[in-house]
Amino acid sequence: MQHLIEMSGIKKSFAGVVALQNANLHIAPGEVHAIIGQNGAGKSTLIKILTGVYRRDAGEVTINGTPSTVSTPREAQDAGIATIYQELSLVPLRSVTENVMMGYEPRTRFGTIDWKAAHKRTREILERFGIDIDVKAQLGSYSTAIQQLVAIARAVSLNAQLVIMDEATSSLDDQEIEILFSVVRELKKEGVAVLYISHFLDELYQICDRVTIMRDGQTVGQRVISETTKLGLISEMLGRDPEEIEAAGMTGLGGGEKAEPGSSLFEAENISTARGLKDVSLTLRKGEIVGLGGLLGSGRTETARALFGLDGLKSGKIDAHGSSGQIGTPAEAIAAGVGFLTEDRKREGIVPHMSVRENMTLALLPKLKTMGMVDRKRETELVERFIKSLGIKTSGMEQPIRELSGGNQQKVLLARWLALEPEVLILDEPTRGVDVGAKFEIQSIIREYVDKGLGVLLISSEFEELVEGADRIVVLRDGFSITELENPGVTEEALIAAIAHHHEEAAA
Amino acid sequence: MLDTTAFDLRRYIQGNNHSLGVWITLIALIVFGVMRYDNFGGSYNISSFLNYNAMFIVIAVGMCFVIMTGGIDLSVGSVAAFTSVVAAYLSPYGIQVALPGAVAAGLAIGGLNAFFVVAMRIPPFIATLATMLGAKGGALVISGAQTISIDWTSNFTKLGLEKAFGILPWTIVITAIVVVGLWVLLEKTSLGRTVLAIGGGEDASVMMGLNVTRAKVLVYVLSGGCAGMAGLFLASGFGAGQPLEGVGWELSAIASVVVGGTLLTGGMGSISATVAGALLLGLVFNILNFENGRGVISLSAYWQMVIRGAFLFAVIVFQSRVASTAKKGTI
């Protein structure tokens, strides 16, 4: 069978640093193909070579059997390769129709845009994917999921043969992911191939046919996904023994000595806020991880925001061990020994222009001051220490943080909080958008600090992470804390049941 | 063997590639001037050049702070006009009253900007546009739209004429103190880093417990104070309060900041490069004046502005080229 895309023996270095040394990728027409690998494995470099962003140093690329001459993204698009980025490259202030038709608008006899025909065509294109929305409305008025689907629709309407989806689901909720998957299946039916990049291995089993595994700039395997296990994929990706991984548990959170929890650090009693938190109570003790379970919109992030002083309390009270008064601002929360690693790393976490060093020490600056000046020597020592102990991969502490991979950015942010030596750390989706290897490392770091007495409030959409990691799980629903599950003994089934059961109750 | 000093220079250049272009151009222009014109490098020209451009430099470094937070201060030119009148009225009481008076007036208007932007959450462009018009009107009201002569008998005149410690005019010395002070504030204090963090990501800064409100208030007050100081220099340089001056100064200041490689969106910036940018803009006029003085060509002030605009554009293009080359590591 002739492959749609055939990349073989691809080599690429940046300023002497090898990014790809022997990478191969074979995509058959109409298949859903995944690429997995740790950050830095070379996934995005390989894709950028395919889409004409980078030029390869060596190797062959053929599209439909003919050698590719693609050297710019525009040429890739003309060759039938469309890329849907995590950050959408659409115009949110313009209508759906304009976004789909831009550059290819139907014209009237007089050369003006034929809006009637444009709207009609846009509606037809979207209907193929079962999307029924007002095409005249601003694109930005729709959810990210719909926007992503519009981007896909545009790509397909331009006769794409291959749609590349880079972390397409990372900002979608379960329902939206389902819609996206049905679109992927629809594409497949029409003979369009999809190249799918995701850190969520579970997703791959739902929609992918084959998977290419990369490690250290090389392709280490190509598998038919129905013939492999998750453990097998992970071990190949990390280059480690499957048994070794199984013994350590699938996440890095478990495996710690479950010591008796210490004294109480933090108590929230019947708190409610204007952001939809109705009545949540929880306690956190020294040296334990308390998980917040629940569906999207159940109040997990809202609880974290309230505890960190971002949203004012309407009622109830928070008792932080380290503070005498109420916590009303993030600065007060930090002073009381509370840290908050937010879910939105790009907006609320990193300061992109700043270096790794500056990002790591921003929250710590008040403590690094001597006579109003930043103590550069102490700062440098501290940053060096954390880069080493957390295994942050960077060319140096002066490298701008935006150049780091997601997992390493997250480690810098984690170091930012750990450097404050907090008593309580709130972690909102600490491993989202982070590759499997870095995920394991981040989880291990968290466990290490918890064993030393840190209290962690963990929010995670991955039940596995909660079930293995948390000592207790507080289950939330519609802004209420409804029950508490205690480890050991919690299973994913039990957690799901707890969430679902109470939903049934609510419905009854 | 790697020469360690050369290595450090290389590191420094790569770390500061955003302002490399402005330094190269500035040095090139100075070398050009010294070689082409007699007296260009003479102490009289240097001293009068710096004396005249001092007000643009202090305004530009104040503006730099505002821009680094992602804001803008359009009121600086009008504030300088206003405080030049204030300084002229206070000149009979001597410099010890006129200086704090003019600066205080500038700080007050800066405080008003801060109130609008921080407390009322009005976009900086709009808020400072309003105070720009207000301060301009205020300058005309208190002066009756007349230039207000300074008191030539008081020690106010010493500011621009007498040399501090017999070396440089006081204006230049004060400017140097302001520049060094603000450089330390930006590079060495946590407040400076907070300013950059706000420009880079305001939400992230709030989440880290940084005092965003305080820093934002500070930059507008600071910019107002700098403009107030510039007004003092204006009155001293022209011997009168100038209610009609200051038009377009905010744009020159923004140009100095941008030429220095500071991002208009905030988050990145340099005081030294801003000073270099302000010097560069002044130097273009200085050189054109010398060129006119040779008697071969005669460019009107209007043509000089056109040339300065073209030159500014060329420097910014050059700057971005240099920055991207340095980043790739070929320098």
Q: What region, left, alpha or beta, does residue A421 occupy, with left being phi > 0 and alpha being psi -120 to 50 degrees?
A: left
User: Chain A interface, mutation test: which of B7, B11, B190, most A Cβ atoms within 10 Å?
Assistant: B190
- In this structure, what token pair is assigned to residue A392? 């942050």
- The whole-chain average pLDDT of chain B stands at 88
Contact assignment for B190 to A368 by CB distance below 8 Å: yes
Euclidean distance between CA atoms A437 and A409, whole angstroms: 14
Chain A's closest residue to B194, CA to CA, is A362
- pLDDT value of position B12: 58
Q: In angstroms, rounded to a whole number, what is the distance separating the alpha carbons of residues A430 and A447? A: 13
Model confidence over B58-81: pLDDT tens digits?
999 999 999 999 999 999 999 999
- Report residue B206 as tokens: 């709030």
CB contact under 8 A, B207 and A330: yes
Give the pLDDT score at B329. 44
The complex's ipTM works out to: 0.73
CATH classification at residue B148: 1.10.3470
Inter-chain CB proximity B200 and A331 less than 8 Å:
no
* Chain A residues closer than 8 Å to B268 by CB: 353
Chain B nearest CA to A435, separation (Å): 23
What class does CATH assign to A283-507? alpha beta
Burial class (CB in 10 A: 0-12, 13-18, 19+), A72: exposed
The DSSP 8-state label assigned to residue A107 in this structure reads: B
Binned at pLDDT 50, 70 and 90, residue B108 comes out as very high
Residue B255 lies in a domain: yes
**Inter-chain contact A373–B188, Cβ cutoff 8 Å?**
yes
> Which residues in chain A have Cβ-Cβ distances shorter than 8 Å to B213?
none
Helix (H) or strand (E) holding A330: helix A330-335
- Specify the pLDDT at position A171: 65
- How many angstroms away from the CA of A382 is the closest CA of chain B? 16
> Which residues of chain B make contact with A374, given a CB cutoff of 8 A?
188-190, 193
Collapsed DSSP state (helix, strand, coil) of residue B293:
helix
Nearest CA in chain A to B266: A353
Nearest CA in chain A to B329: A15
A chain contacts of residue B200, beta-carbon cutoff 8 Å: 351-354
Q: How many residues can be counted in chain A?
A: 508
User: H or E element: which one contains A234?
Assistant: helix A230-238
Q: How far is A50 from chain B (nearest CA, A)?
A: 22
The Cα–Cα gap between A388 and A404 comes to 15
pLDDT at B313: 87
Any domain includes B4: no
Residues on chain A touching B10 (C-beta within 8 angstroms): none
Q: Band the pLDDT of B283: cuts 50, 70, 90.
A: very high
Higher-confidence residue of B256 and A406: namely B256
Mutate: best of A308, A310, A348, A351, partner B, most B CBs <10 A: A351
pLDDT of residue A164: 92
Beta-carbon separation of A416 and B209 below 8 A: no
Q: Which residue of B has its CA nearest to A308?
A: B207
Query: Count of CB contacts below 8 A, A vs B?
Result: 81
Top pLDDT among A153 and B215 is at: B215
AA letter at A419 = A
Q: Look at residue B92 in the predicted model and tell me its pLDDT.
A: 93
- Alpha carbon distance A307, A328 (integer Å): 9
CA angle A495, A496, A497 (to 5 degrees): 90
Give the pLDDT of residue A256. Answer: 46
Higher pLDDT residue, A385 or B319? A385
Nearest to A122, CA basis, from A137, A109, A140? A137
Query: Is-contact A220 A188, C-beta < 8 A?
Result: no
Please say if the pLDDT value at position B331 is more than 70.
no
CA–CA separation, A450 and A205 (whole Å): 33
Q: What is the DSSP string of B35-58?
A: HHSTTTTSHHHHHHHHHHHHHHHH
Is residue B216's pLDDT more than 50?
yes
Residue B193 belongs to a domain: yes
* Regions of chain A short of the pLDDT cut 70: 1, 15-16, 39-40, 86-89, 170-171, 244-261, 296, 322-325, 500-508
Q: Cα separation of A292 and A498, whole Å?
A: 12
Residue B199 inside a domain? The answer is yes
Residues of chain A with CATH 3.40.50.300: 5-246, 283-507
Interchain proximity B209–A15, CB inside 8 Å: no
Looking at the partner chain, which of A308, A353, A365 has a beta carbon nearest the beta carbon of B200? A353
Q: Using CA atoms, how far apart are residues A464 and A428, in angstroms rounded to an integer?
A: 15
Spatial CA neighbour of A216 closest among A83, A393, A478, A381: A393
Among A351, A369, A372, beta carbon nearest to B201: A351
Q: Which of chain B's residues have a Cβ under 8 Å away from the Cβ of A335? A: 209
Query: Which one of A341, A365, A376, A399 would you mutate to disrupt binding with B, by most B Cβ within 10 Å of its Cβ?
Result: A365
CB contact under 8 A, A15 and B329: yes
Predicted pLDDT of residue A102: 80
Strand partners, A308: none
Secondary structure letter of residue B117 according to DSSP? I
Nearest-CA distance A193 → chain B (Å): 36
Total tally of structural domains belonging to chain B: 1
Degrees to nearest 5, angle at CA B142 with B136 and B144: 90
**By a Cβ cutoff of 8 Å, what residues of chain B touch chain A?**
15, 184, 188-190, 193-194, 196-197, 199-201, 203-211, 263, 267-268, 328-329
What DSSP line would sit under A63-110, residue for residue? ETTEE----SHHHHHHTTEEEE-SS--S-TTSBHHHHHHTT---B-TT
**What pLDDT does B111 receive?**
97
What is the Cα A131 distance to its own chain's centre?
Answer: 25
Mutate to test the interface with A, among B207, B211, B212, B327 (most CBs of A within 10 A): B207
CA distances from B107 to A36, B53, B194, B198 (A): 57, 21, 21, 22
- Residues of chain B with pLDDT > 70, as a percent, come to 92
Eight-state DSSP code of residue B17 = G
Rounded to a whole number of angstroms, the distance from the CA of B207 to the nearest CA of chain A is 6
Which one is the CATH code of A5-246: 1.20.1050.10, 3.40.50.300, 2.40.70.10, 3.40.50.1360? 3.40.50.300
Query: Which residue in the block uniquely carries the two structure tokens 């599950």?
Result: A485
Nearest CB partner across the interface for B209, out of A334, A342, A349: A334
Of B15, B188, B210, the CB nearest to A362: B210
Smallest CA–CA separation between B36 and chain A, in Å?
Answer: 41
Walk across the sheet containing A289-293 and list its strands: A338-341, A424-428, A455-459, A289-293, A472-477, A480-486
CA–CA gap between residue B297 and residue B132 (Å, rounded): 38
Chain A residues whose beta carbon lies within 8 Å of the beta carbon of residue B190: 365-366, 368-369, 372, 374
Locus of tokens 């005498």: A324
d(CA A149, CA A168): 10
Residues of B within 8 A of A308 (CB-CB) are: 207
CB contacts, 8 Å: A353 with chain B:
196, 199-200, 263, 267-268
B289: left (phi over 0), alpha (psi -120 to 50) or beta: alpha
Express each pLDDT in B146-205 by its tens digit: 999 998 888 888 887 778 777 788 999 999 999 999 999 998 888 898 999 998 888 888
Task: Kindly list the residues from chain A whose CB atom is less than 8 angstroms away from the CB atom of residue B202.
Answer: none
pLDDT band for position B97 (50/70/90)?
A: very high
Q: Interface of chain A against chain B, CB under 8 Å?
A: 15, 308, 310, 329-331, 333-335, 340, 342, 344, 347-354, 358, 362-363, 365-366, 368-369, 372-374, 398, 416
**Residue among B188, B200, B204 minimizing CB distance to A348:** B204
